Amino acid sequence: MRRRVLPLAGADWAVAHRPGRGRPLLLLHGFTGTGLDFEPVLAAFEGRPLWAPDLPGHGRTAGTPRPPTPSFPTVRAGLRALVEVAGEAPDVFGYSMGGRLALDAVLHGALPHRRLMLLGAAPGLADPHARAERRAADALLAERLEREGTGAFLHTWGAQPMFAHLRRRLGEAAWKRLQQRRAEAPALGLASALRGLGTGEMTDATPGLAGCGAPTLCIAGAEDTKFVALGRTMAAALPHGRFASVEMAGHAAHLERPTACIPLLRGFLAD
């Protein structure tokens, strides 16, 4: 896949695209990532047209002449415009922050889609006090990011327990490529994404899950116990939801064990 800049909803987005035949697939990456992060699992979508934007504040989108402001309404508008470019309602695969944004856009009617795949995603926080605490924590993290710069922040971010085995399982060469792509985003861009696209800014999606009629697959790495519980809960609340875990994987299961994720995704899309 190669990235090019597209004008979407009045802003410039860097979007990785692979032409193909059949229903398009929309891929939404996690915090600090880029659209190219999905390359290890592209074999699950052989021959299909793929669209994978660098989300606001991330990757090359953050450095475009008219970067979109990181906010949930801005993402909804951009995704709706991207679907129009794709020409058909896509299947959607969102990881972590990308899954959160996909779910928000779907439940606000801004993202026409056929099937939904959510990896390591959460529906938001119902308790207003918990949302306020999360916003405050993300604001402090954003200040730290601006103070330390992208490189130092990425080192700290990758050392979290949820990513404990990612570097070892990727191998040094793949880890270095991943970090180089992530470092494309300026510190101000990632900081603004923390402030505008964090869990504390999201409207709780839980009440809307029962009205989501599309088939939905919720996935979590088996070692990512918090998101295993969240994935099971979301799948149970969705009319056509199912849950799957990826053994020997943490939060970034598609990067840690792509060969285990590919059959899950293929099976869901073929069913």
The pLDDT score that the predictor gives to residue 156 is: 85
DSSP string, the chain: -EEEEEEETTEEEEEEEE--SSS-EEEE--TT--GGGGGGGGGGGTTS-EEEE--TTSTTGGGSSSPPP-SHHHHHHHHHHHHHHHTSPPEEEEETHHHHHHHHHHHTT----S-EEEES-----S-HHHHHHHHHHHHHHHHHHHHH-HHHHHHHHHTSGGGTTHHHHH-HHHHHHHHHHHTTS-HHHHHHHHHHHSGGGSPP-GGGGGG--S-EEEEEETT-HHHHHHHHHHHHHSTTEEEEEETT--S-HHHH-HHHHHHHHHHHHH-
The pLDDT score that the predictor gives to residue 129 is: 96
What pTM does this model have? 0.96
The pLDDT score that the predictor gives to residue 6 is: 98
Of 3.30.43.10, 3.40.50.300, 3.40.50.1820, 3.20.20.70, the CATH number of 2-270 is 3.40.50.1820
The pLDDT score that the predictor gives to residue 158 is: 82
The pLDDT score that the predictor gives to residue 205 is: 94
The pLDDT score that the predictor gives to residue 46 is: 87
pLDDT in tens, the chain (271 residues): 889 999 999 999 999 999 999 999 999 999 999 999 999 999 999 899 999 999 999 999 999 999 999 999 999 999 999 999 999 999 999 999 999 999 999 999 999 999 999 999 999 999 999 999 999 999 999 999 999 999 999 888 888 887 878 988 999 899 889 999 999 899 999 999 999 999 999 999 999 999 998 999 999 999 999 999 999 999 999 999 999 999 999 999 999 999 999 999 999 999 8
